[in-house]
Structures are given as C-alpha cells and as structure tokens.
Amino acid sequence: MADQQWLSSITDIGPGNIRVRGYHITDIMENLSFAETVFLILKGELPNKAEAEMMRAILVASIDHGCSPPSVLGTRNVVSGGNSLNAAIAGGVLVIGDSHGGAIENAAKIMQRWAKKEGETTALAEELVDYMRENKIRMPGFGHRLHNVDPRTLKLFEIAGRCGYSGRHIELCKAIEKALEEKTGRKLPINVDGAIAAVISDMGFDYRLGKGFFIISRVPGLLAHAYEEMTREKPMRQLGNRNYAYDGPASREIKK
C-alpha cells in the first residue's frame, strides 16, 4: 500500500544502481575518501575542503587508545571466549556508553544548549560550572586518567583553527576548562571527547550523532585488537584485574 511506504533519503538502490544521497557509488569510490563519504551520508551533501579535512582528523583521533579501554577489553574477552569476529566487534561496541565514548554526545548536548544563550563565553562557562557543581553533575569531556594535556585535543583545535572552525562552541569549551580549574582548583584538561564535541558542534552536527563519531572511529581499532587476540593469544586467558576480595556474607548453611 502506498500509504504504508517506508521513505528514506539516504540511499537509492535498483538493478545496477546504488546512489548514496544521489551520488552513484562508483563515482564516490573514484572521487571521495572514506571521511568525505561519512560526511556525505551523515549530512546529505558533499563536504568542502575544510569540512573534509576536519572530518578526517576527527575519525583518526579516536581510532585506538591501547589495550585498557573497556571497549577493547570487551572485544578481546569475547574473542578469548571462542567467539567470532563479528561477535567480538559487536561486544566491544556494546561496551561504549556514557562513561566510555559517550562523553562526545553528552558534552556536545551541553555545549550546544549553552552556546545558544546570550553573553560572552567566559561568563557562560562560569555559570555552567557553578550550576554543575551545585547539582553535583560532572562535566563530560574534561579530565583524563592518563594525559595531563591530551595531544589529540591540541591537534584537533589546531586543525579546526586552520579550517575555520574555531567558533563559539570551541571558545566555550576552552572557557569551561579555565572555569573548572579556577573553581575546583584542579587541572581538568579538555580530552579528545570534549574536543570532538566542540568541533562537531561548530560544524553543525546534531549532538545525538556524538556516540556515532566515536563508534566509526574506534571500530578499526577493535578489529585490530580482535585479530591480534585471535592470532597471538591463547583462548580463555586472563584479561583484566583478578585481584579481588570477597566481602559478602560469612559461610552459612540452609536449615531445613
């Protein structure tokens, strides 16, 4: 029935025809990079030179961060249990959430809401940090367990400046970093998630795509870890910290 037709503006397919956002897939294969194609399928239009360069940098920034992140441990554990490659990648992606990879979405949501307010970013940042502290809310995208200064943040902001994307959201992001240090007495550097949140906001992306940027970037890293686990390690090996102590009820019996 016509009234039950499912409409999509993303890809049109037919015999010998595959068109993504109106462009034939072979034309895309010949002329666009992967980063440019991601921009096209998300935005619906071809990126200009600056947008393409910015997208490339974003997708590279989070490709991997060693063996310790939860998504990597998830992928390696699934492989170690004797499961398939697709199950391992899915397992790693399923670990991605608000506490790991989700800061892009959550930080972008806050920045996009506050950047719409009138006033200078310094005053807005101070007001935001006061609000977060009063309500005991942690500002996502700031602080890192390893890096005092996240090198990926510095490079992303450098490229953003070169590409003309140092807008109100990046300005607000930097002001938040200063306000956090002034009001908490702690250095909480902008991490790569916070930087990406600010950049995609200045590029006009909806915050709800935030986790998606992390997933697209991280999957190749998860694939590499899955393959390494399959080819270099024995099954059912020790992964993660087993140094735990029991603190439940003392030994007891069921009385009949």
How far is 216 from 59, CA to CA, in rounded Å? 7
Backbone angles phi, psi at 208, to 5 degrees: -70, -10
Give buried/exposed letters for 142-173 (b at 16+ CB in 10 A, else e). bbbeeeeebebbeebbebbeebebbbbbbbbb
Q: pLDDT class for 147, splitting at 50, 70, 90?
A: low
Helix (H, G, I), strand (E, B) or coil at 17: strand
Q: Domains in the chain and their CATH numbers?
A: 103-207 (1.10.230.10)
The half-sphere exposure of 130 on its side-chain side, counting CA atoms within 13 A, is 6
Give me the pLDDT at residue 200, please.
Answer: 97
| Per-residue pLDDT reduced to its tens digit, 164-210 | 988 999 999 999 999 999 999 888 999 999 999 999 999 999 999 99
Q: With 90 as the cut, is the pLDDT of residue 2 above it?
A: no
Name residue 178's amino acid.
K
